[in-house]
Amino acid sequence: DPPPPPGPPSFAGLKLVNDADHPWKPLREGDIRGPCPGLNTLASHGYLPRNGVASPSDIVKAVQEGFNMENKFAIGVTYLGHLLDGNLVTDLLSIGGKTPNTGPAPPPPAHAGGLNVHGAFEGDAGITRADAFFGDNHSFNQTLFDKFVDFSNRYGGGYYNLSVAAELRYSRIQDSIATNPEFSFKNVRYITAYGETVFPVTLFVDGRVTTDRKLSMEDAASFFRDMQFPPDFHRAAQPSSNEGIPQVLAPHPWLPGGNADGKVNNYVADPDSADFQHLCRMYTNVVENVVGLYPNPTGILKRNLIKNLHYWHTGVNVTFGGCTELFPYGQL
């Protein structure tokens, strides 16, 4: 049985997390990493299984313990990934590519393909990862990191902060519009794209910093490229998540949408997409996508879909400020 999601940790304050119990280790043959520098770092320090395959409970505990990610937010992000990319029978998710270590995949169109799967959770216009259209949507991309450094120099005095996040987010959207005929930037991806630009400020900056939160380029490379906590790294001092998105959107308000008709420079807004005024549309859209992956589940698969959809709702309902729960497979 998939257990209910873990609650908040008993201590949710400042602490050293790059500690002797969690040494960084280089990858072994077969260890999996993916598009998320946060999860990659947790796996390389042993907060997650070092092979890169974990249960949703493992992930919620690890992001809380290692980064002080807020409980309901952690549940929302983790079960989103698990429902779209995980193996719901074995309760295991790959933080990168598809692997037999998550167990046999349910029949197609389900894939249990891990977080690398494009267009499920992972999407376009990432900060240090290229669009799937260009071939590799999950590896650290040095050219994009050079742009991250350049923008940090131009807008942040050599550091990444919310002003840099605003300019880089906007510029990465413009890059994709100009070069990726399949650019898609709506629903899940629209929401997560803004989230991932603030995590480096809220979660990668050492928790002992109390004012003017900004990330050095050395520490950024440590997380994004090396999957390693900086020396002596302390997690955020209080439960944190995506604080700062309004500051990222304000200088460059932008609507969800995508390049239409497979043509570059053809961005068309989608008025039906989720956005920050309509967060529950993301909830509904994902439930529809899950039903697309699992049109006719039976047995344990059906039971676990019902359970995981409910667990996910307990997170989004709080972080999205209330969304009517949907029961496409009924209730237990």
Q: Please give the residue ranges that form the binding site for ligand HEM (CB under 6 A).
A: 35-39, 59, 63, 67, 69, 74, 77-78, 81, 115, 121-123, 126-129, 192, 196, 199-200, 203, 224
Q: Which is nearer to ligand HEM, 134 or 327 (CB)?
A: 134
> Minimum CB separation from ligand HEM for residue 298, in Å?
27
Q: Which is nearer to ligand HEM, 285 or 302 (CB)?
A: 285
Strands 184-185 and 93-94, sheet pairing? unpaired
Q: Which is nearer to ligand HEM, 64 or 90 (CB)?
A: 64
> Minimum CB separation from ligand HEM for residue 174, in Å?
16
Q: Which is nearer to ligand HEM, 156 or 332 (CB)?
A: 156
> Minimum CB separation from ligand HEM for residue 299, in Å?
26
Q: Which is nearer to ligand HEM, 173 or 298 (CB)?
A: 173
Residue type for 203, please?
Answer: L
> Minimum CB separation from ligand HEM for residue 128, in Å?
3
> Minimum CB separation from ligand HEM for residue 223, in Å?
8
Q: Which is nearer to ligand HEM, 161 or 192 (CB)?
A: 192
> Minimum CB separation from ligand HEM for residue 63, in Å?
4
Instruction: Compute the distance between CA of residue 15 and CA of residue 67 in angstroms, rounded to an integer.
Output: 10
- Residues pairing with 69 in the sheet: 240
Residue type for 98, please?
Answer: K
**Closest residue to ligand HEM in the complex (CB):** 38
Q: Which is nearer to ligand HEM, 67 or 183 (CB)?
A: 67
> Minimum CB separation from ligand HEM for residue 67, in Å?
4
Query: What are the tokens at 198?
Result: 């603030």
Q: Which is nearer to ligand HEM, 155 or 224 (CB)?
A: 224
Query: Largest alpha-carbon pair distance within the chain?
Result: 57
> Minimum CB separation from ligand HEM for residue 201, in Å?
10
